[in-house]
Amino acid sequence: MENAAARFSNQSLDHHWMPFTANRQFKEQPRILVRAEGIHFWNTSGEKLLDGISGMYTTPAGHGRVEIREAVNKQMAELDYAPPFQFGSPGSFRLAAELANLTPPGLNRIFFTGSGSEAVDSALKVAIQYHRARGEGQRQRLIGREKGYHGVGFGGWSVGGMVKNRQMFGTGLPGVAHMRHTQIPENRFQMGQGEHGAELADDLQRFVDLHGADTIAAVIVEPIAGSVGILVPPKGYLERLRAICDRHGILLIFDEVICGFGRTGEAFAAQSFGVAPDIMTMAKAITNGTMPMAGIAVREDICQSILDTGAPDAIEFFHGYTWSAHPVACAAALATLQIYRDDDLFARGRTLAPYFLEQIAAFRDLPMVTDTRGYGLLGAIDLAPSGAAGARGFDVLKRCFAKGLVGRVAGDTIVFAPPFICERGDIDQMMGILRGVLTSL
């Protein structure tokens, strides 16, 4: 740790333009992480910090897993890269088969990408081409949702509904509409699914009535909206959305970049809520955060409709990435899935979730807390603003870091997504740090 800190001390911070970061403030007071193991990070001073957000929803099995490192090293020695266009490598086919065993029945065709943003754009393209393949090429309209986050590609931010992610970049894709979000006062301080708001899904029917069902290709939602601060769907909401899509031939896309791989207690939130989409994105925890990788799971008949549009020797889907199904990323993902199975981590997360949610709910006793909510191992605590929107949340983020907790904020919302390998005592320690910070304000 001392060597890592010493090496870092000689580096300039000027040249790295950091993503989603207050760059000027950060470089005045850097928060640098130099090592990780288990549920902890270490900073440049050698101080140990709890990881309250699983990296960034990426690392539920904990940091520094030897099994993944060994799999990556072995793959690097055998095949470090292979072109994904017109060629293949063994790991990608094995990984696709293993993922197809985890996804909801029928979603058994896997297309690999390098990030969640790429996965979303790929899913939107599949939806549009599917309708064209069926002779309904006029179905090009896409429906998103307010407060939704679907990455930073032009397709993703167009269907996304977070204002700050949209306002600097123009109008986005044409033909996009947004349903209302589901964060309503009637469900405040509700852990799990709220009783109110299922009717908000009828916004999709309103767009059908306004634009015509035959113009709409797909609707995309996060089963649990993560980046805006853990918005759990009301009871009946996703079922109602599914029914409207079925009635009008609209594809339903679930963005499971955050929810996937056990975060809600099952492999995917679609299974936790009992609602199957037509296309589903995945990323983040697919490699336990060790390698950039993502993908989409597509219903078999959707994929086949696209494959059947051309001659057998013709390219069917003019889309892909240099890093699609990267051999080393596939090796990391296969090792990660093996860890999830061997350690029964999804079940472990389910067992820990009720206690975790109790501790999140306990913050309602603080006067500055305006809401608590959560599902599985996702929890959020809303704070009353103090000054500019987001100022209090950012202040809490910095204070928690100084006290030994790496967390995440969305405006004035504190978000937790602890690793599945946590014990109750670890949860207590995380919540104790946050409570200490909040009571000191």
Output the pLDDT for position 12: 85
pLDDT string in tens for the chain (441-residue length):
445 555 555 578 989 999 999 999 999 999 999 999 999 999 999 999 999 999 999 999 999 999 999 999 999 999 999 999 999 999 999 999 999 999 999 999 999 999 999 999 999 999 999 999 999 999 999 999 999 999 999 999 999 999 888 989 999 999 999 999 999 999 999 999 999 999 999 999 999 999 999 999 999 999 999 999 999 999 999 999 999 999 999 999 999 999 999 999 999 999 999 999 999 999 999 999 999 999 999 999 999 999 999 888 999 999 999 999 999 999 999 999 999 999 999 999 999 999 999 999 999 999 999 999 999 999 999 999 999 999 999 999 999 999 999 999 999 999 999 999 999 999 999 999 999 999 999
Q: Is 275 helix (H, G, I), strand (E, B) or coil?
A: coil
Q: Is 180 helix (H, G, I), strand (E, B) or coil?
A: coil
Percent of the chain with pLDDT over 90: 94
Output the pLDDT for position 164: 87
Helix residue ranges, H only, 19-115: 23-28, 54-57, 66-78, 90-100
118 and 84 in contact (C-beta within 8 Å)?
no
CATH topology of domain 69-342: Aspartate Aminotransferase; domain 2 (3.40.640)
Output the pLDDT for position 1: 46
CATH of span 2-61+344-440: 3.90.1150.10
Start-end of CATH 3.40.640.10 domains in the chain: 69-342
Farthest-apart Cα atoms in the chain, separation: 68
Distances (CA, A) of 33 to 4, 20, 63, 273, 315: 10, 17, 13, 36, 44
Report which DSSP code applies to 263: T
Q: Residues 158-182, buried b or exposed e (16+ Cβ, 10 A)?
A: bbbbbeebeeeeeebeeebbbbbbb
364 and 189 in contact (C-beta within 8 Å)?
yes
Output the pLDDT for position 7: 55
Q: Is 36 helix (H, G, I), strand (E, B) or coil?
A: strand
By DSSP bridging, strand 33-37 and strand 40-43 are: antiparallel
- pLDDT (tens digit, 9 = 90+) per residue, 299-322? 999 999 999 998 889 999 999 999
394 and 409 in contact (C-beta within 8 Å)?
yes
CA distance 30 to 32: 6
Tokens (6 digits) for 344: 């029964």
177, β-bridge pairs? 143
Start-end of CATH 3.90.1150.10 domains in the chain: 2-61+344-440
- pLDDT (tens digit, 9 = 90+) per residue, 428-437? 999 999 999 9
Output the pLDDT for position 310: 82
Distances (CA, A) of 249 to 139, 238, 412, 435: 10, 16, 39, 48
Cβ-based neighbour number of residue 197 at 10 Å: 20
Mean residue pLDDT of the chain comes to 96
Q: Chain-centre distance of CA 20, in angstroms?
A: 15
Output the pLDDT for position 82: 97
Cβ-based neighbour number of residue 306 at 10 Å: 18
CA distance 235 to 195: 6
Closest CA relative to residue 284, chosen from 276, 292, 273, 272? 292
- pLDDT (tens digit, 9 = 90+) per residue, 145-190? 999 999 999 999 999 999 888 989 999 999 999 999 999 999 999 9
Phi and psi for 238 in degrees, rounded to 5? -65, -35
Q: In 153-293, where do the E strands start and end?
A: 176-179, 216-221, 251-255, 279-282
